[in-house]
Amino acid sequence: MGNKIVIPHITRIEGHGKVSIHLNDAGEVESTQFHVTQVRGFEKFVEGRPYYEMPSITARICGICPISHLLASVKACDAIMAVKIPRAASLLRELLHCAQIVQSHALSFFHLSAPDFLLGMDSDPAKRNIVGILEQHPEIAHDGIALRKFGQAAIERLAGERVHPSWTVPGGVNSPLSSSARDAILSETKIAKSIIRRALKLFVSVLDKFEAEIESFGNQPTMYAGLVSPRGDLRLYDGILRFRDPAEGGTIADIEDPLDYANYIGEGVLPHSYLKAPYFKPRGFPAGIYRVGPLARLNVAERCGTPEADAELGRYRERLGRDPQSAFFFHYARLIEAMYCVERMEELLAEPRILDAHVRARADVNALEGVGIAEAPRGILIHHYKVEASGAMKWANLIIATGHNNLAMNQAVDQVAKRFVRGTKIEEGMLNRVQAVVRAFDPCLSCSTHALSQAPLVIELRAPCGALLDCVSTSDDSMAGCPVESV
């Protein structure tokens, strides 16, 4: 009878997941499973709600990428209203989306994963975090904070709030962009681009140190899926959903009408996870494994379509080939996409029509079914709604970015565990690598199971005050003189 190692709580990711590693009698890894441990059941409990409430309800799936849910949802609602939204509205939605991807990619790269590259996979776990980066590489930590702020501030300027704004609505957005807000966002793009340039340089400079990780971090052939323009440019807000299989020499499916997604994407269940496992239907389950997100999008696209991102993409492909497959390169792809997003924001803000006052189409229910597809930071996000003629929701299906990567993440943790974990002596660094491959995918486990979990953030004061609990929960002045100081 072999042993089992459990990583009860994968750290430095959004949401809750765990990993079980099964060892055989010789202490070798037999199999590895990635569990997602929450489910909320949005698809069921939204039944009966008015369809136009869906954007604000489903945005609550996630506090990191609520904008993606808002956009997929309003696109599904546009389809139910059967309207073509005003040009300015689609420019503004795309602008908002780019800002969100920048902030989310900054969080993934700097706050969550950089501790592994900069401090080392085997470094002291007590320091291997954003605080450790602040202490040892303060300029990099400050870059991360500033880049995330750039994205969040742009969202706030456009939509009024950083998280869960109510600006995007079925039919468009609910207010036009002012020229002062446009100028304010434009004044900050230069700094954002220079931060991304530095991050790219930094990441490329550490690549040689991670040969073993590159070799084993989900370094397996899969198909890829992502949105593209008709000429193959990277698209994030709207586009053709393309499946690519490098083994077949390129594109294997183009989905132009969002309603057709269900002919290509099926959903399987893994008995060990609340996260379902979508698969490419024509190949069956689980053979129809594919990946989404930054690495997949850059493989699916022919080019980004903006100058500096394309120059970076050229260097990336020169070094790694046309279809890099190690999940370690998700990080690299993420930075190139961040550059694309900032450049794209500049292009959008330079469009004269982005200031148009007409930003919303109004209509009632004109179709009983609608699908909205957008690229969340982590990959394709699909909202599919069916409604009664009254507009009450009859049925919903949500396929979230992280789900598409579920089969691939399970394969990847197994590959890493087999490469690094030996049963005779388990070291922390081995288990950190198993978690680091999960981080590379930047999963959002809150999103992925539409589950909102306990995500406690705990802070220990350096000079604890024993009476603090009583202080806070009793009378107003009882905390006076309580020595809760830092040292």
Site for other proteins in 298-327 (CB under 8 A): none
Smaller CB separation from other proteins, 163 or 361: 163
Question: Shortest distance, CB of residue 302 to other proteins, whole angstroms?
Answer: 31
Smaller CB separation from other proteins, 277 or 348: 277
Give every CB contact of residue 177 below 8 A, 6+ residues apart in sequence.
88, 92, 158, 354, 355
Residues 442-461 that bind other proteins (CB under 8 A): 451-461
User: Of the ranges 105-113, 218-226, 301-309, 409-417, which one interacts with other proteins (CB under 8 A)?
Assistant: 105-113
Does residue number 425 form part of the binding site for other proteins (CB under 8 A)? Answer: no
CA 69 to each of CA 32, 64, 110, 374, 381: distance values in angstroms, whole numbers, following the listed order: 31, 10, 23, 8, 8
User: Of the ranges 37-45, 212-220, 331-339, 351-359, which one interacts with other proteins (CB under 8 A)?
Assistant: 37-45
**Is the CB of residue 470 less than 8 Å from the CB of residue 455?**
no
* DSSP label of 50: B
* Residue choice 2, 11, 246, 355 for contact with other proteins (CB under 8 A): 11
Question: Shortest distance, CB of residue 152 to other proteins, whole angstroms?
Answer: 6
Question: Shortest distance, CB of residue 477 to other proteins, whole angstroms?
Answer: 8
In the block, tokens 């997949």 appear at: 296
Smaller CB separation from other proteins, 128 or 297: 128
Tell me the residue length of the chain: 487
Question: Shortest distance, CB of residue 379 to other proteins, whole angstroms?
Answer: 19
Distance CA 254, CA 266 (A): 16
> What 3-state class would DSSP assign to 87?
helix
In the block, tokens 């459990």 appear at: 6
In the block, tokens 């309003």 appear at: 74
Residues 459-478 that bind other proteins (CB under 8 A): 459-462, 464-466, 468-469, 471-473, 476-478
* Residue choice 5, 36, 416, 434 for contact with other proteins (CB under 8 A): 36
Does residue number 60 form part of the binding site for other proteins (CB under 8 A)? Answer: yes
**Is the CB of residue 35 less than 8 Å from the CB of residue 273?**
yes
User: Of the ranges 88-96, 148-156, 197-205, 361-369, which one interacts with other proteins (CB under 8 A)?
Assistant: 148-156
Residues 271-300 that bind other proteins (CB under 8 A): 271-274, 276, 279, 281, 284-286
Smaller CB separation from other proteins, 26 or 461: 461
Total of residues contacting other proteins (CB under 8 A): 94
Question: Shortest distance, CB of residue 131 to other proteins, whole angstroms?
Answer: 5
Smaller CB separation from other proteins, 45 or 84: 45
In the block, tokens 């209509």 appear at: 363
Residues 349-408 that bind other proteins (CB under 8 A): 397
Residue 107 burial class via C-beta count within 10 angstroms: exposed 0-12, middle 13-18, buried 19 and up:
buried
Question: Shortest distance, CB of residue 215 to other proteins, whole angstroms?
Answer: 23
CB count, 10 Å around CB of 358? 12
At residue 455, what are phi and psi to the nearest 5 degrees? -125, 75
Question: Shortest distance, CB of residue 90 to other proteins, whole angstroms?
Answer: 27
Distance CA 402, CA 374 (A): 13
CA 459 to each of CA 108, 113, 456, 462, 464: distance values in angstroms, whole numbers, following the listed order: 21, 21, 10, 9, 11
- Before 286, cis peptide (omega within 30)? yes
Residues 114-133 that bind other proteins (CB under 8 A): 115, 125-126, 128-131
* Residue choice 5, 23, 29, 38 for contact with other proteins (CB under 8 A): 38
Does residue number 113 form part of the binding site for other proteins (CB under 8 A)? Answer: no
Does residue number 426 form part of the binding site for other proteins (CB under 8 A)? Answer: no
Does residue number 482 form part of the binding site for other proteins (CB under 8 A)? Answer: yes
Smaller CB separation from other proteins, 273 or 299: 273
* Residue choice 3, 24, 41, 183 for contact with other proteins (CB under 8 A): 41
Residues 230-269 that bind other proteins (CB under 8 A): 266-269
> What 3-state class would DSSP assign to 245?
strand
Angle between helix axes 307-320 and 330-350 (nearest 10 degrees) is 160
* Residue choice 22, 27, 28, 39 for contact with other proteins (CB under 8 A): 39
**Is the CB of residue 424 less than 8 Å from the CB of residue 27?**
yes
Smaller CB separation from other proteins, 149 or 422: 149
- Starting at the earlier edge strand, list the strands of the sheet with 369-376: 369-376, 379-387, 393-399
Which is nearest to 35 in space by CA: 460, 476, 475, 410? 410
* Residue choice 22, 27, 31, 57 for contact with other proteins (CB under 8 A): 57
Smaller CB separation from other proteins, 290 or 340: 290
Does residue number 149 form part of the binding site for other proteins (CB under 8 A)? Answer: yes
Does residue number 212 form part of the binding site for other proteins (CB under 8 A)? Answer: no
Question: Shortest distance, CB of residue 41 to other proteins, whole angstroms?
Answer: 4
Distance CA 6, CA 18 (A): 7
In the block, tokens 């059967």 appear at: 82
> What 3-state class would DSSP assign to 453?
coil
In the block, tokens 């999960």 appear at: 438
